[in-house]
Structure 1
Amino acid sequence: MGVAIRTAVEGDRELIVRLLDEAFQDDPVSGWVFPEVADRRAKHPALMAAFTDIVLAAGRIDVTEDGSACALWFSVPADEGQGDGDTGDDDGPAPVREAVDPDNERIETIGRLTAAVHPTGRAHEYLWMIGVAPGRQGEGLGTALIEAVLDRCDREELPAYLEASNARSRKLYERLGFELAGSVLDLPDGPAMWPMWREPRPHRPA
């Protein structure tokens, strides 16, 4: 049986924030941004809320009908990249840091570092984040969310891009056709992230 997927709307905001918070609490990158567990428990939801608001305004969020998984996407036009560290006119990493935790420089640092390695020059779909409820991981929900967009990418001859934040997700993305794009991004005194690019595959009509 296939996974039913729909586009999230504003009324799904709290669901998306909760999903992302639960899914990324123990992620290596979230642990780097908020090294102290108590601090992470307190402030991580606000960071996920800021991300959710940015994508609801300027991108698209796909969510499974049962609310157990979501994927945050941006459609990046040709010749437009994230090289200045911003994901929107007023939604770059500095305002996010100010809104979430002004004393935490790492919130801004990670936004600028990932922006600096983001490919430019070709239109593509950018998978910013994907979250699956901890109790539902391993069921193929994340794969279904990604494949739904990759199928469209293949039809429209669009590449796709993402940054893998852990080794497990990197393996999933490799199975879906993504390859390392450039050098591994090593966060200062922190974990690695893997920029990954996928060229569209020849589309075979059903």
Structure 2
Amino acid sequence: MIKATLNDKAAVISTLVKSFDTNKSVNYIVKQDSKRVERIRKLMAYSFDLCYAFGDVFLSEDRKACVLTLLPDRKKSTFKTTLMDINLVLSVIGVSSAKKAMDRDARIKKGYPSEPIVYLWFIGVDPAYQGKGIGGTLLDDVVKHSTGLGRPVYLETSMVENLPWYEKHGFNVYQTLDFSHGDLYCLKNA
């Protein structure tokens, strides 16, 4: 696992846009119009910037997969992050859906423990390289890194077909939330 630098940002965003193009949860948040793919790109750029500042961004050794992790207890509200949040609402979510996105976020966070966690925001593998074990190796490395920090890993997926993969890597569903796009499965490593 390689710690990403700012020079890796474009490649990370590209991998995540390709990986999450049809993701139900991402498309629930992103305004659905002719600019949808560009909006997903902006969401991934926002996520990269927050995780780079208040967590970690990692790449697989071959740079075909990436993961964005956030340390929620270290995230600070600053003038810059407030401007980033406003830009996210205006350019990605849409003002009319901002409440929906905030409510979703609040429901997810209710399931978090009081102790510090590692929040795995996004993990993606370039679609041309999926199914080769790259993502699994990266996920295992993130769990090892998080264990070294003394923090459990929490994440969500809306893709029921991904549950066996996460379970294979030591994650368990601790709650299922119902949203208009379908169920959102909240997982943590055991």
Q: Which has the higher contact order (CA 8 A, sep 6+)?
A: 2
* In the alignment, structure 1 residue 70 sits paired with structure 2 residue 49: no
Runs of 4+ aligned structure 1 residues displaced above 6 Å come to none
Give me the whole-angstrom Cα distance separating, in 1, the residues matched to 2:96 and 2:88. 7
More helix by share: 2
Task: Assess if the C-alpha contact under 8 Å between 2:58 and 2:68 holds in 1.
Answer: yes
Deviations 1:88-138 (A, max 9, x none): 414479525335236354466335423433203122222111011111111
* In the alignment, structure 1 residue 22 sits paired with structure 2 residue 15: no
Aligned AA (1:145): L
Task: Assess if the C-alpha contact under 8 Å between 1:97 and 1:105 holds in 2.
Answer: no
Unpaired runs of 5+ residues, structure 2, are none
Q: With structure 2 as the length reference, what TM-score do the two structures score?
A: 0.82
Per the alignment, residue 178 of structure 2 pairs with: 186
Unpaired runs of 5+ residues, structure 1, are 81-86, 200-206
Give me the whole-angstrom Cα distance separating, in 2, the residues matched to 1:96 and 1:114. 17
The 1:15/1:115 distance shift into structure 2, 3 A limit, reads: farther
- Equivalent pairs counted in the alignment come to 185
Q: With structure 1 as the length reference, what TM-score do the two structures score?
A: 0.77
| Deviation of 1:37 (Å) | 6.3
Deviations 1:8-48 (A, max 9, x none): 01111111111111110111122323474633123221111
Give me the whole-angstrom Cα distance separating, in 1, the residues matched to 2:127 and 2:160. 17
Give me the whole-angstrom Cα distance separating, in 2, the residues matched to 1:103 and 1:35. 6
* In the alignment, structure 1 residue 46 sits paired with structure 2 residue 38: no
| Deviation of 1:165 (Å) | 2.6
Give me the whole-angstrom Cα distance separating, in 1, the residues matched to 2:163 and 2:150. 23
Per the alignment, residue 97 of structure 1 pairs with: 88
| Deviation of 1:49 (Å) | 1.0
Give me the whole-angstrom Cα distance separating, in 2, the residues matched to 1:122 and 1:157. 10
* In the alignment, structure 1 residue 116 sits paired with structure 2 residue 112: no
Give me the whole-angstrom Cα distance separating, in 2, the residues matched to 1:27 and 1:102. 15
- SS in structure 2 at match of 1:123: coil
Per the alignment, residue 202 of structure 1 pairs with: none
